[in-house]
Every structure is written in structure tokens, then in C-alpha cells.
Amino acid sequence: MIEVKNLTKDYGTTRAIENVSFTVPTGQIMGFLGPNGAGKTTTMKIITGFMPPTEGQVLIDSLDAIDHSLEVRRKIGYLPENTPLYTDMDVVGYLTFVQRLRGIPQSEHSVRTRRMIELCGLGEVLKKDIGELSKGYRQRVGVAQAMIHDPEILILDEPTVGLDPNQIVEIRDLIKELGRAKTLILCTHILPEVDATCDRVLIVNRGKIVADGTPASLRAAASGHDRLTVEIKGPSDQIRSALEGLPGAARVARGDGADAEPLGAGCSRFVVESASGHDLRETVFAMVRDRQWILLEMHHEATRLEDVFRQLTVGADAQAAAGSTS
Amino acid sequence: MTTVLANTWTFTLKELRSFFNSAVAYVILTLFLFITGWFFASNLFLVNQADLRDIFGAIIPLIFLFFVPAITMRLIAEEKKTGTIELLVTLPVRDVEIVLGKYLASLILLAAALALTFAYPLTISILGDPDTGGLVGGYFGLLLMGAAYLAIGLFTSGLTPNQIIAFITGFVIIFVLYMLDKIIMVFPSAIASVLEYVSVGYHLDNLARGVIDSRDVLYYFSLIGLFLFLAVRTLESRKWR
């Protein structure tokens, strides 16, 4: 379990994070989300004991990260941002080096190395120098060194940056696989990653936590609603008033914007925003059938995590910018 | 305690491997042998004396001035530059183990360089009858001096992520210590004797005479201890608030 209490970190006069608190229970995969420079990496560096906070405290399984630094470091596997590795060591040599320093008995080295090689798909590059590896393989070596001692807590800072789409899927699957038994913090600014892997999301912006919940609950809580785009053949005015009359329809607008496809003769397109919790698809279909209009197209768009994220971060930034320029 | 030694040794092996995997070790050893060999051979028959006073007293200390910071400049600076320091210090190891391990590796390389010059005293002992005490004391003194320089170099390597800055600052500190006893004539005698004691050359001369005095040994050990302590502090500097 990771308990983070009122962390504040100043770099000189710049405040990187301010009063950040959260708890990650054992077995949870938590996505730590935020735009670049929001304080994600700073928070990770403090949790892993790389540097102390200006104020506040980190407890790992109720041990203080500073007072019991060595014990805490034993429990954590860490992949720092940008995956720093020794470029002049080969993969097996490096994994052995890490195991020695982690105090793993010599007899277990080859077994553990083999397991990591299997898990992370490093079989083809065993004897290569890390400096010769592609970005994707390097990333996997980074993940392997973080997990080789089977840590209870795994902290991965942007593990999929610079990977190609196939590799991203592989690493994501790996993370999901691992997260079942471990406490895992995944730092990223790539939203589909969080949606695909995390049980819980924490969004930080400008050093403060702005949202905390499951991906689904965040979507639900966002003020943006589900949007339903419909194309119907029939009298335009009647369609509009009928749509507006539907229970649960919050707003109806014409959907023929500049980038919309051209409409057929006698057709009109509307975008219906529903109040949260309402799914209008069935009622719209029933309405069209009853009036004997023709439904040509219906497209449903759920609120995406991207929208939530933009709302929480860009909106706040705009406010802050307005405040600072005055 | 055993883990401290084991971890230190793991770091030492890693650094030694990277010395010998890259060109560093070979360049250092070759050039060191070439330069010392040149001065040894070119003067040997000219002077017609069975000693290594020039090599010990002047040539090797001069070479160390440049070579030692070159050996150490990479050791911590590169870790800071590439970010591997973050992985290193978040492993369950103590900062002092990291510093000692790296230091020991550089010391082994330096000792190897010195050991390769055993060919010179061997040659001399065939040709004449050198003063064994002077030779032993000379090697001992050079090793201690080199060890002190290495500690200084390791400290300056920890100050910065830039290897060139690490080299230059290391060189300057060593150069000052090296020059002190060579410029004392311009100082009043009270200051001069202090400067002389602080300079590295004075203690080396004592040892090279074949007199192993604990004061000289203590001097070098204090230098080593001081700068290794400071090197550990540079790793800890990330924790300063």
C-alpha cells in the first residue's frame, strides 16, 4: 500500500507539486495522469525515495520512505522517465547486476532472468549491448529490471513513450497482467492507456490533484454529455420539435456544420445532447418509426476520457493564465 | 557489513568492466607506459645511474595530473547525464557503496598502470644496484598520491553532469596541490612550511627517499577520506531541501 500525505515540493521558487495526497491500496493499478510538467514525475521521484519532499510524507506499507529508505527501496520496482540504462552492458549482464544489488541469492539469478526474458519478450536480444537495442526493447529491459525482484509495488513512469503501436499493446498487456498481484502506479499522459489498463485514475494539473476516480466514474461526472447524431428523412421543423420533446434530451442542434457530409434531398441532421444517464437511441428510433420518417443514420458518442482531461486541465490553465497576465 | 562489501564489489566489477569494454583502460595504460617508457629509456644510459628518481619524482606525478581526472571524470557525471543515477540510488544500496565501488575500480586501474612499470626497476636491477627502499617507497608514494588524486577526481565528477567540467575542476584542484611546494619560495617561511605540508609533492619526496613515515601516509589518507566523503555528499545533494 502506498500512502502519500500532503506532499509539497519546491524547486527553488517554483512549486512543482502542492499538497498532494492519495492512497493506493494493494492490488490496484492506478493511472497517474496529467499534462507535461504537471508534477507526475516529481511525485514518482519522491515516492521512490530519489528525493525528499519539501513538506509531507510518503508511507510504503506504513514505513516512512525517508526513515526506512533501504527497506522501502527493496519493496519498490521503478522505471524512471526516459528509461535510463547502462548502454555498455548487455541485457543479461545488466539484469544480473541489478539482482546482485537487490540482494537476490546467486542461485536464483538464472531462473529470475529467464522469467523476465520470457515475460518481457527479450529472447532475441540477450547478448546485445543495451545501447544497440531499439527503443521498444530498451523499454522492455527497463520494465524487466523493475520487476526482477518481484516487488510488491511497481512504479512505471511513461512506460510506452516512443513505442510503436504493436509494442504499446504488448507493454499494456504486460502491465495488466502484472497489476493483478501488485500495487502499480502508471504515470502517463496517454489517455487510452489509462482507459485500457487502470482501475483508478488520478489527474494532476499544475501540481494539484484535480480528479480521482475510476475511468467510468470520471466520464460520468464530467459535465459533457453523451452526444447522439441522427440523420432523418422528413420535414425538418417537425423533426426538430419532436427531438426537443423527447424526455432526456438536453439540447438539440442542427448537425450540418462545415465539415459534415452533404445531406440527401429532404434529409436533416441533428445532434442531440442527452442529460447524463439517458440513452436516447431507443426512444429516437421509436419516435422515427411512429411518425413514419426514415432513419438514415444514428451515431452515438460517449464522453471520452480525453474530454474529461481537457476540461480539467486546459480549462484550469486558461483560468490561471488569465489570472497571471492581469 | 557483508552486504556493504558485496555491493561495493559489484559496483567495482561493473566499472572495471566498462573501463575495459571501452577504450578508456587501453588508452590510459598504453599512453602511460609509452610516456614513462620514453623518459625512462632516453635518460637511462645518458645519466648512467641506477635509480628512478626522475620517473618517480617528476614524470609520473606530472602524468597523473592529467590522467587521473581523465579516469574519474566519467564515473558519476555520466550517471547524472544519462539519468541512470536515478535507477542506481533507488536500488536498496547506500550512497557510500556506490562511491567506494567506483573509487576502488579507478584505483585498480591506476594500480595496474603502475604495476606495468615494474619493468623499469627490473631492468635497472639487472644493470646496476638500485636502492630497494627507495623503489618500494616510491611506488607506495605514487600509489597513495594517485589514490588521493582519484578521490578528488571522483568528487568533481559528482559535482556536475558534464564530464569536461568534471575533468577541469578536478585538474585544477590537483594542480594547486601539486604546485604548492614548487612556489613556496615567494612566501614567508611561516606560511611556506604550512603550504609545504599541504602539498602532495613534499610527501611524495619523503616516501620516495625510502622513508615510510606515518605522517606522510596519514596526509594522503586524510586527503582520500575528505574527498570521498565529499563525493558521497554530492550524491546526497539531491536530498537537500
Lookup: cell for A228: 447522439
Its pTM stands at 0.84
DSSP for A188-241 reads ES-HHHHHHH-SEEEEEETTEEEEEE-HHHHHHHSS---EEEEEEES-HHHHHH
Q: Which residue from B minimizes the CA distance to A86?
A: B84
Q: Do B18 and A88 touch (CB under 8 A)?
A: yes
Compute the distance between CA of residue B224 and CA of residue B219 in angstroms, rounded to an integer.
Answer: 9
CB-nearest to A84 from B7, B14, B84 is B84
Helix (H) or strand (E) holding A16: strand A14-24
Percent of chain B exceeding pLDDT 90 equals 57
A vs B: CB pairs below 8 A:
64
Q: How far does CA A166 lie from the centroid of its chain?
A: 18
The answer to which of A204-218, A233-247, B38-52, B132-146 has the lowest mean pLDDT is: B38-52
Q: What is the distance in angstroms between the Cα of A47 and the nearest Cα belonging to chain B? A: 10
Q: What is the distance in angstroms between the Cα of B157 and the nearest Cα belonging to chain A? A: 17
Which of B5, B18, B19, B87 to mutate: most A Cβ within 10 Å? B87
Domain membership of residue B161 as a residue range = 2-239
First CA to last CA across chain A, in angstroms?
44
Parts of chain A belonging to CATH 3.40.50.300: 2-221
Compute the distance between CA of residue A313 and CA of residue A224 in angstroms, rounded to an integer.
Answer: 15
Question: Does the CA dihedral A321-A322-A323-A324 come out positive or negative?
Answer: positive
In chain B, residues with a C-beta closer than 8 Å to the C-beta of A93 are 17
> Around Cβ A266, how many Cβ atoms within 10 Å?
12
Nearest to B122 by CA among B216, B50, B221, B174: B50
Q: Do B6 and A100 touch (CB under 8 A)?
A: yes
Q: Are A265 and A280 in contact (CB under 8 A)?
A: no
Q: What is the distance in angstroms between the Cα of B112 and the nearest Cα belonging to chain A? A: 22
In chain A, residues with a C-beta closer than 8 Å to the C-beta of B86 are 45, 50, 80, 84
Mean pLDDT highest for which of A10-14, B29-33, B235-239? B29-33
Total domains in chain B come to 1
Query: What does DSSP say about strands A153-157 and A76-79: parallel, antiparallel, or unpaired?
Result: parallel
Which of A13, A101, A129, A145 to mutate: most B Cβ within 10 Å? A101
pLDDT in tens, A251-292: 788 876 655 666 777 788 888 877 766 778 888 888 888 888
Q: Report whether CATH 3.30.70.1340 matches the domain A227-301.
A: yes
**Continuous H helices in chain B:** 2-21, 24-43, 53-54, 60-82, 84-89, 95-116, 119-127, 132-159, 163-179, 189-198, 200-208, 214-236
Parts of chain A belonging to CATH 3.30.70.1340: 227-301
CB-nearest to B22 from A85, A88, A98 is A88
Residue identified by cell 526513515 is A67
- Reported ipTM: the value is 0.88
pLDDT in tens, B164-192: 999 999 999 999 999 888 887 888 888 88
Q: Which of the listed CATH numbers 3.90.740.10, 3.40.50.2020, 2.60.40.180, 3.40.50.300 matches domain A2-221?
A: 3.40.50.300
Q: Which residues of A touch B (CB under 8 A)?
A: 45, 48-52, 54, 70-71, 73-74, 76, 78, 80-82, 84-89, 93, 97-98, 100-103, 145
Compute the distance between CA of residue A43 and CA of residue A127 in angstroms, rounded to an integer.
Answer: 35
Regions in chain A scoring below 70 on pLDDT: 162, 221-225, 256-262, 276-277, 303, 315-326
- Sheet with A14-24: strands ordered across: A14-24, A2-11, A55-60, A63-64
Nearest to A308 by CA among A196, A201, A187, A163: A201
